[in-house]
Structure 1
Amino acid sequence: MKITLIAGARPNFMKIAPIIHAILKAKSNGAPISYRLVHTGQHYDQKMSDTFFEELQIPQPDINLEAGGGTQAEQTGAIMVAFEKELMNHPADLVLVVGDVTSTLACSIVAKKLNTKVAHVEAGIRSFDISMPEEINRLVTDSITDYFFTTSEIANTNLLKAGVDEAQIHFVGNVMIDTLLVNQSKFKAPEFYQRLDLKDKNYIVLTLHRPANVDEGEKLKELIQEIVDGVQGLPIIFPIHPRTAKIFTSLGISAPNLNIVDPLGYLEFNYLVKNAKAVITDSGGITEETTVLGVPCLTLRDNTERPETITIGTNELVGTDPKNINGYLTKLFNGDWKEGGIPALWDGNSAERIVTQILKAFNE
């Protein structure tokens, strides 16, 4: 069977890597399976995409659709037009999409219109916040998916409530964690680690990119100030997202302990996370990694599509009001942060479960 794998944005690559490795392993054991890797080009900054292929040992894509840039609508349209040509030229038995980015939505629609089955990895996660572009991507993708691969029992429940047939839902665990665990021994300190005299468990990692936090200059400024004031002078390492950088540079924000760095590769970024005292973020995926690594995480959002990182893991939902931050930082520095555990099936074997299930489905 032929599978077309879709990768477009930075988080996709961590999810696709273990699936590729599982497909190659199955093929080497005689399974009738092959893949074609399509990079939509949604993220086109080298630090946000190309580096990941090298670090995660993914073969170069069979094609790059080069559909990055533009508004949401422009990017969705560009990906759909380019992927339709790609899929017509290289038909597949299954198109496998991951996560909840624009590429996920666009390629799912194209596949279904060409009567190709769709598998969605990370199906069923919900923030229930329709103002988030990602939530729209999840809802539309899951409305036309054939095989739902889920990370949690909560995601299973969400799909069942939406009317999905239980036989189509496969609880396999979290492929992001497959990548985290297999690469943990390769994590490496960024070049600035010694230069900034960073010490393990004695600095804070900060990431921000969501519109609710970064699109309004004054709001962003207030968030940063509350964090700077609340970390008791510890260094803050802020790998700045291109989206955030556009606004941040015009605000004139500076503090002795605030260190702005370029986006990092996977191995360097997760070295930082693993050895941090805490992570402050508005990312969903990072909350999964901090949960498995046992690092306290403060999420600057009013909702999350990954509630298991809160109910089981080390994550806390702080909200987007800057005034909420101090209370959580006080809890952190008082040593009162929860210990956290690891959700079921976040064990490094999720991709193998996915490939096993796909082979089973297509051999029935």
Structure 2
Amino acid sequence: MQIIKPPALGPHSILCVVGARPNFMKMAPIMAAFDALGPELDVSLVHTGQHYDVAMNHQYFEALGIPQPDINLDVGSGSHTAQTANVMLRFESVLNKKHPSAVLVVGDVNSTLACALVAVKKGVPVIHVEAGLRSFDRAMPEEINRVLTDQISELLFITERSGRENLLREGIAEYRIRFVGNVMIDTLHHNLEKAVPISKILQNANKEEFLVGHDGYAILTAHRPSNVDDPDTLRSLLQTTLKISTKLPIIFPMHPRTRDMIQKFGLNKILDVPTVLQLPPMGYLEMLGLMKDARVVLTDSGGIQEETTALGIPCITLRNNTERPITVDEGTNTIAGLDSEKILTIFDEIMLTGGKTGRIPEFWDGQASTRIAAEILDWLKNGLQSK
């Protein structure tokens, strides 16, 4: 048996990295769990600036109770290559100054992989939260980020048991893997009572009358390039949305990328109907309020697949695969792809039966972050035991 320890560089210090809004929801409970440990850990937060909407970032940080970042790299937009490279260049200087015991990354955005690469090349151990998720679709940039980050991580925290099998198949040693549950659900549990009600959201949009005479509503979110960057695919999605809205009104918080593509392709008029409410991007508490009272959610977001399962809300995933299979096997999620007829058939079935009831997956109990913090502190003190 070999004991593998992180480098002893003074007090145990963790450099936590966020880059995009999905990271914020995952990091919030982890930071709180670290804080509960008191002075045993010296924790710093780095924001790469991958999502650079200052107002929206501030809204998320404030809503989730995340401390303001100690360091902001201000990377901004760019191609996948440019963004990854810029994060790496700027993060290296941070490591040179901070000398942390470990770098903690979450999720699968470009910042996750970029900071993990810099850390491992400089001999700093990487901790990956939300490891082992696989769509098995290498055309997804996030899949590349997931696979490569896992390969170079020292300690890997998984949200569902399928993650362990994925990692073992890829040659990751079992002693590096910890099944702790889903930190996204920690955030949901903590904030559910603070969720902004649908009535307030409609009031703020001056659309109080939108749901009058209707029995509930659906939510649509779409942002993935595979769904919105091709004019024919986007047109079909919007036309399917229009058909659904004749049966149930749809609230559509529109991602900036989606809004830009709709304008670019001249598709603005398709959803210019009274049964579709187009809104700007929502803050976390607003989106949570929308989801918890919806009859169904249509989405291409991985995080929303998890949140709808936790809330017991039927979800139609507008992709041909998911890296979160537990939301289908145990939760409320159904994979529809982009075939209009299949989407409409699944929607009609949900309207008829109420949809899949599902159950709450193992360790989706609001305590994942506490387990993560305890495991990290033990590792920093005692190392990993390899057999």
TM-score range for the pair, normalised by the shorter chain length: over 0.9
Amino acid at match of 1:25: A
Partner secondary structure for residue 343 of structure 1: coil
Identity, in percent, stands at 48
Aligned partner of 2:202 in structure 1 is 193
Hey, what's the Cα distance between the residues in 2 that align with 1:23 and 1:60? 15
Aligned partner of 1:355 in structure 2 is 373
Hey, what's the Cα distance between the residues in 1 that align with 2:208 and 2:117? 47
Structure 1 runs not aligned, ≥5 long: none
Hey, what's the Cα distance between the residues in 1 that align with 2:321 and 2:158? 19
Deviation, 1:189, is 2.6
1:219 to 201, 225, 233: 233
2:167 to 127, 148, 159: 159
Partner secondary structure for residue 60 of structure 1: coil
Amino acid at match of 1:6: V
1:177 to 157, 179, 185: 185
Structure 2 runs not aligned, ≥5 long: 1-11, 383-387
Q: Deviations over 1:161-209 (max 9, x none)?
A: 1111111100000000000001111001364424343379701110001
Q: Deviations over 1:65-86 (max 9, x none)?
A: 0011111111001100000011
Hey, what's the Cα distance between the residues in 2 that align with 1:117 and 1:304? 29
CA contact (8 A) 1:227 1:325 kept: no
Hey, what's the Cα distance between the residues in 2 that align with 1:334 and 1:47? 41
Partner secondary structure for residue 309 of structure 1: helix
Aligned partner of 2:256 in structure 1 is 242
Moved over 3 A (4+): 196-201
CA contact (8 A) 1:9 1:48 kept: no
Q: Deviations over 1:106-145 (max 9, x none)?
A: 0000000111000000000000000000000001101100
Amino acid at match of 2:253: P
Deviation, 1:47, is 5.0
Question: Which 10-residue stretch deviates more, 176-185 or 250-259?
Answer: 250-259
2:28 to 17, 40, 44: 17
Aligned partner of 2:90 in structure 1 is 82
CA contact (8 A) 1:6 1:98 kept: yes
Hey, what's the Cα distance between the residues in 2 that align with 1:160 and 1:142? 11
2:79 to 68, 71, 75: 71
Hey, what's the Cα distance between the residues in 2 that align with 1:49 and 1:315? 28
Partner secondary structure for residue 97 of structure 1: strand
2:267 equivalent to 1:251? yes
2:280 equivalent to 1:269? no
Q: Deviations over 1:217-238 (max 9, x none)?
A: 2221211211221344422111
Amino acid at match of 1:35: V
Partner secondary structure for residue 122 of structure 1: strand
2:362 equivalent to 1:344? yes
Taking structure 1 as the reference length, what is the TM-score of the superposition? 0.96
2:315 equivalent to 1:297? yes
Question: Which 10-residue stretch deviates more, 162-171 or 248-257?
Answer: 248-257
Amino acid at match of 2:194: K
Amino acid at match of 1:241: H
Aligned partner of 2:224 in structure 1 is 210
CA RMSD of aligned residues (A): 1.4
CA contact (8 A) 1:47 1:264 kept: no
Change in CA separation of 1:102 and 1:36 when aligned onto 2, cut-off 3 Å: same
CA contact (8 A) 1:150 1:169 kept: yes
Partner secondary structure for residue 81 of structure 2: helix
Report how many residues are paired.
361
Taking structure 2 as the reference length, what is the TM-score of the superposition? 0.91
Q: Deviations over 1:289-329 (max 9, x none)?
A: 00010000000000000000000000000012223211111
Partner secondary structure for residue 105 of structure 2: strand
Hey, what's the Cα distance between the residues in 2 that align with 1:210 and 1:259? 20
